[in-house]
Amino acid sequence: SGYRVAVVGATGAVGTRMIQMLEETSLPIESVRLLASSRSAGKQLKFNGQTITVEETTPESFEEVDLALFSAGGGVSKQFVPEAVKRGAVVVDNTSAFRMDPKIPLVVPEVNPEAMENHQGIIANPNCSTIQMVVALEPIKKAFGLKQVVVTTFQAVSGAGQRALNELEEESQEVLNNEAVDPQILPAAGDKKHYQIAFNPLPQIDVFEDEGYTHEEWKMIHETKKIMLGEMNDSAIKVTATCVRVPVPVAHSEEVYFEVEDQNATADDIRRVLSEADGVVVQDDPEHQIYPQAVNAVGKKDVFVGRIRPDQENEGSFHMWNVSDNLLKGAAWNSVEIAEKLHEQGLLHL
């Protein structure tokens, strides 16, 4: 009568929100299995008032599972997603493990739901900062054409997981108490050096790659192309990104500069198109100091857009300020929304 759902990484920053989104979804759910590592096995979590014991993830965890939502890191997905698919589950994977595989759809339901039509058991959920940007850019692209995007992000610490969030809190206390800080995780847990995030923006998210770009920046560039154009190396839209981690617990902010094809487009036209777009809320009234703010976006599923204005030097170019809860639209909500769309399209078998 309903889906048997597994959440992998159920104890994490995203996983706990996945549970919450499953409580709110219209998807028919028969049962929920909560999976993590052996460290959290035995821990008890609530789903719709019911107590569920967290289990260690094993290949057998996926027997009699219809839908598996993964958010426990790329390594865990590489190991267990094939086990889940082999046992007949459809997987929505929130890690970067399969995002760039040309056979695997990378989906934001407001942008490219049709990409799921021929899925082979895995749907990849894009990177959080990419999702909130393309939700706002797609309606602009449809109405006016899109030539170029230059984005600078102000990304929340929860994007790096629960331990990073704890680190921000501890360091902030230490700084306020005039104590020494001892960074262990940020900017990237796997990198050699760690730096203070409290009161200190860090222009590094994930590890460095070629030409001085970080992997997060690489993801924003190539995932945007795959989602909006269908291919990661398509040059029909030029994209570049600078990703900055800021001492904010939840909700990413982005300054997006973009150039449209239609030289007659105005800021009012863009505001009108965005105010009619799915998943977007326009908050743009400079006269009354109205613009999106991270603190107001926490717990909401929408992407909030404001500060929409024409560039003063380049014709057909604009700026906007774009804010969303990175754990919801950037991760847990987008994943559950993908599952809802799969269900509606008959692509999730009962």
**Catalytic residue set:** 128, 252
Q: Does position 84 bind ligand A2P by CB under 6 A?
A: no
Q: Does position 52 bind ligand A2P by CB under 6 A?
A: no
Q: Least distance (Å) from ligand A2P to the CB of residue 54? A: 7
Torsion of CA 52, 59, 215, 231, to 10 degrees: -110
Q: Does position 12 bind ligand A2P by CB under 6 A?
A: yes
Q: Does position 36 bind ligand A2P by CB under 6 A?
A: yes
Q: Does position 187 bind ligand A2P by CB under 6 A?
A: no
Q: Does position 95 bind ligand A2P by CB under 6 A?
A: no
**How far is it, in rounded angstroms, from Cα 201 to Cα 310?**
27
State which of residues 3, 18, 27, 40 lies at the interface with ligand A2P (CB under 6 A).
Answer: 40
Closest to 22 measured CA to CA, from 341, 340, 350, 343: 340
Contacts of 127 (CB under 8 A, 6+ apart): 96, 99, 216, 219, 220, 223, 330
Closest to 20 measured CA to CA, from 345, 325, 227: 325
Q: Answer for the pair 36, 15: CB distance below 8 angstroms, yes or no.
A: yes
Task: Give Dmax (Cα) for the chain.
Answer: 61
Rounded to 5 degrees, φ, ψ at 274 are: -70, -35
| Beta-bridge partner residues of 92 | 69, 123
Q: Least distance (Å) from ligand A2P to the CB of residue 163? A: 6
Q: Least distance (Å) from ligand A2P to the CB of residue 158? A: 8
Query: Per-residue DSSP letters for 80-110?
Result: HHHHHHHTT-EEEE-SSSSTT-TTS-B--TT
**Nearer to ligand A2P among residue 202 and residue 308 (C-beta):** 202
Build a one-symbol-per-residue string for 153-172: x at contacts with ligand A2P by CB under 6 A, - elsewhere: --------xxx---------
Q: Answer for the pair 106, 223: CB distance below 8 angstroms, yes or no.
A: yes
- Strand 317-324 vs strand 252-260: parallel, antiparallel, or unpaired? antiparallel
Q: Least distance (Å) from ligand A2P to the CB of residue 230? A: 29
**Nearer to ligand A2P among residue 187 and residue 279 (C-beta):** 187
Q: Does position 109 bind ligand A2P by CB under 6 A?
A: no
Rounded to 5 degrees, φ, ψ at 30 are: -90, -45
Q: Does position 306 bind ligand A2P by CB under 6 A?
A: no
**Nearer to ligand A2P among residue 163 and residue 349 (C-beta):** 163
Build a one-symbol-per-residue string for 64-83: x at contacts with ligand A2P by CB under 6 A, - elsewhere: --------xx--x-------
Q: Does position 280 bind ligand A2P by CB under 6 A?
A: no
Stretch that binds ligand A2P, among 13-21, 116-124, 198-206, 308-316 (CB under 6 A): 13-21
Q: Which residues bind ligand A2P (CB under 6 A)?
A: 9-15, 36-37, 39-40, 57, 72-73, 76, 161-163
